[in-house]
Structure 1
Amino acid sequence: MAAAAPFDQRFGLDRRVVLPGPLALDGGGSLAPVEIAYETYGALAPGADNAILVCHALTGDQHVASPHPRTGKPGWWERMVGPGRPIDTDRRLVICANVLGSCMGSSGPATTDPATGRPWGMAFPVITVRDMVRAQALLLDHLGIGRLAAVVGGSMGGMQALSWAATFPARVGAALVIASTARHSAQNIAFHELGRQAVMADPRWKGGDYDAAEPPAAGLAVARMAAHITYLSEAGLTEKFGRRLQARPDSPDGAKSFGFDADFQVESYLRHQGLSFVDRFDANAYLYITRAMDYFDLAEEHGGRLADAFSPATRFCLVSFDTDWLYPTADARAIVHALNAAGAPTSFVELSSPYGHDAFLLESPALDRVVRGFLGTGT
């Protein structure tokens, strides 16, 4: 294995690397070269045994604990990753890589096809979650990290954590899987197909060959609105918005327009979520990543029995939220049962939160305690 790349203590160190590959893909063929954008936090120990890989969700990126370069907003898990935080960068080297197929620097439909000199677009190969994990393994090889102390992820990040443990069990000391699943349900796939069809129905999509200056923003915004509903809970939406009407300059207390403007506060909120999303995400990347999530079926990859995906070589912690209807607690329990059958050391907790699936991204002292406790010993 190559000598470890030099790490230092600078917080939020942004890096990009082009690896020669080839990277074999589940769909057939291979990808070469492989470009990966990533960030590191903290320092690698002399024994290279303190690295934690944090895997991001569908619309996340490598900027886990530092400002997003496009929006200027704080990192998506800044409350969790940092000096003295549950994932403690005073003790750990934390790595977060932009997934294969995304649009924040890693190889994907928005990056340049070396054969044409133009963006890949829909000529980019369809990828899987396991392909994403294999690309991350190439990155760790480049960094000289043979074994991870832990891999951590929520939602699609949890899928990656599971796939890491199944694909490279000898390289993963512990896996922390939060608000995730071992495969998508028909309902999950249906919501993603709704979003994909919204993108592809936008006249600006042009079969995926759109100008970056004129993307299919309307379709992508609708896709984001539909998906965002699945990240919330009915109780949370009711508490935050109820049926309250949206204030306007001519109606400060809100009034029905008897038209199709955003009369209700929840309508205005969803429209804002959609419009702000298109400023930071690529439409084709959205298609590719949602397809990868829909294809994810860990049992299918291991002969149809989920327990066969796991090895006692890795220690696991599963976390679910009681109001998460996207990946409900039943999904986590199915994984726990498979882990028990495989003889893998496993802990599980269901946390209470009004915020639905998004709870893992929001302030949660209970989740902080679980993460700190699981990563504090034995990794």
Structure 2
Amino acid sequence: MTIAVTRSGEPETKPTRNSVSARPAAQAARVPDGTVQYLRIGDLQLESGVQLPDVVLGFETWGTLNADASNAVLIEHALTGDTHVTRGASEEPGWWEQLAGPGAPVDTDKYFVVSINILGGCYGSTGPSTPAPDGRPWGSRFPLVTLRDTTSAEARLADALGIDSWYAVLGGSLGGARALEWAVTYPSRVRRCAVISVGASSTAEQIAFAQAQTLAIRQDPNFNGGDYYGGPEPEAGLALARRIAHITYRSAAELDGRFGRNAQESEAPLEAGSLAGRGRYQVESYLDHQGNKLVRRFDANSYIAITEALMSHDVCRGRGSLRDSLAPATAEFLVAAVDSDRLYFPAQSRALAEALPGGPELHIIEAPIGHDGFLTEIGQLSGQLRSNFFA
């Protein structure tokens, strides 16, 4: 049984939360809420034509699957997120507790909530840091994985849990793209779908930002073509990638209002005797902190793999026009955008909503913070979610 791995690719025998092998649907309620589980789904044929062998998916669940498996909700994480949506048996906070948990809009006392680590990730699913059939980490040999590939893998996990259709699938940013792909690829298996802070495809500008991030990692001297496991890791490159990304996650107004042109504590950017000794502005210190924080918890190759999966996001690929591509979807949709988002502009969400069957209303989250408002201000959608999706 393949288990979770650390960023360095070494087997993680003691995960942060308890871990168990996936159990049959009838036993799912016996697993403590918020416990990492692992399921082998077999070999997976990818869009590229490559076959990825012996795939494992890491996932967590909360609540109890009812007798007819009609109360299952899939919550998809964003780019560097994990499966811990909300706290369960432990007191470890989740990343979307405004959305899911006892008494929350997605009430885990009523719904059986599932969150799956994306294929290519580093929180339990098969990815570049996990062992290939020869026992060595996949590293540079890990294949390109698209969002359609990840959806196919997740469908097998749903099968194993006895879930023929989801009561709802929802997510923000990359998670929203994953939710949309579910609704279009498996229309009969998704009854409701919430797509938040993402459009129908990744634009040229979004691909450009993503390329800058992946190139930052690839040009790190320690990257070694992706085969750095067991040696120095490309920490500087990963931290730089996170800096680039984080600028797009926050608005100009947020950065100006929070940091302005202020120096970082006693550092004086304009008083250095040399460029090499220059102090930092507060915003630079903030970006340094964000980069270093990610380095401690994420694998650089997984960052590349998942970023490229997001670059592949195009619901129209091989399906025709946007309206034609979305036409098979039968789910009830909720589409939302953050008004200050400068990564996934509200106009992209509006175009998606207008092209969906039924033309659902676009809901606007008002948040000066920028793209990350889909996480911090999800409570603004509580009314719509409670009155429509989760009444």
Shorter-chain TM-score above 0.5: yes
Q: Does 1:156 align with 2:177?
A: no
Partner SS state of residue 354, structure 1: coil
Can you list the C-alpha shifts for 1:144-197, whole angstroms capped at 9, x where unaligned? 110100001000000001100010000000000111111111111111111111
Change (3 A) 1:29 1:5: farther
Separation in structure 2 between the aligned mates of residue 364 and residue 211 of structure 1, nearest angstrom: 37
Separation in structure 1 between the aligned mates of residue 251 and residue 245 of structure 2, nearest angstrom: 12
Paired position in structure 2 for 1:65: 86
Partner SS state of residue 152, structure 1: strand
Query: Where does structure 2 lack aligned partners over 5 or more consecutive residues?
Result: 1-22
Paired position in structure 2 for 1:105: 124
Separation in structure 1 between the aligned mates of residue 217 and residue 92 of structure 2, nearest angstrom: 25
Paired position in structure 1 for 2:300: 283
Length-normalised TM-score, structure 1? 0.91
Change (3 A) 1:101 1:262: farther
Change (3 A) 1:37 1:255: same
What is the deviation of 1:49? Answer: 0.2
Separation in structure 1 between the aligned mates of residue 255 and residue 206 of structure 2, nearest angstrom: 20
Separation in structure 1 between the aligned mates of residue 214 and residue 305 of structure 2, nearest angstrom: 9
- Whether the aligned pair in 2 keeps the contact of 1:65 and 1:82 (CA below 8 Å) is yes
Partner SS state of residue 32, structure 1: strand
Spell out the pairing of 1:1-379 with structure 2 (5 A cutoff). Answer: 4-8=25-29, 10-20=32-42, 22-66=43-87, 74-114=93-133, 116-212=134-230, 214-248=232-266, 256-258=270-272, 259=275, 261-311=278-328, 313-339=330-356, 343-344=357-358, 346-377=360-391
Length-normalised TM-score, structure 2? 0.88
Partner SS state of residue 33, structure 1: strand
Separation in structure 2 between the aligned mates of residue 131 and residue 60 of structure 1, nearest angstrom: 18
The Cα RMSD (Å) is 2.0
Change (3 A) 1:212 1:60: farther
Query: Where does structure 1 lack aligned partners over 5 or more consecutive residues?
Result: none
Change (3 A) 1:91 1:262: farther
* Moved beyond 3 Å, runs of 4+: 254-257, 259-262, 304-307
Identity of aligned residues (%): 42
- Whether the aligned pair in 2 keeps the contact of 1:256 and 1:263 (CA below 8 Å) is no
- Whether the aligned pair in 2 keeps the contact of 1:360 and 1:367 (CA below 8 Å) is no
Can you list the C-alpha shifts for 1:59-107, whole angstroms capped at 9, x where unaligned? 111111139x9xx962211232100011110110000000001111101
Letter in structure 2 aligned against 1:32: P
Partner SS state of residue 244, structure 2: helix
Letter in structure 1 aligned against 2:244: A
How many residue pairs get aligned? The number is: 364
Separation in structure 2 between the aligned mates of residue 184 and residue 353 of structure 1, nearest angstrom: 22
What is the deviation of 1:304? Answer: 3.7
- Whether the aligned pair in 1 keeps the contact of 2:365 and 2:373 (CA below 8 Å) is no
Change (3 A) 1:372 1:277: same
Separation in structure 2 between the aligned mates of residue 257 and residue 306 of structure 1, nearest angstrom: 58
Separation in structure 2 between the aligned mates of residue 215 and residue 73 of structure 1, nearest angstrom: 28
Can you list the C-alpha shifts for 1:19-65, whole angstroms capped at 9, x where unaligned? 22x32211112222110000001110111000000001111111111
Change (3 A) 1:225 1:367: same
Pick which of 183-192 and 148-157 moved more. 183-192
Partner SS state of residue 356, structure 1: coil
Separation in structure 1 between the aligned mates of residue 158 and residue 385 of structure 2, nearest angstrom: 23
Separation in structure 1 between the aligned mates of residue 378 and residue 184 of structure 2, nearest angstrom: 29
What is the deviation of 1:288? Answer: 1.0
Separation in structure 2 between the aligned mates of residue 199 and residue 126 of structure 1, nearest angstrom: 17
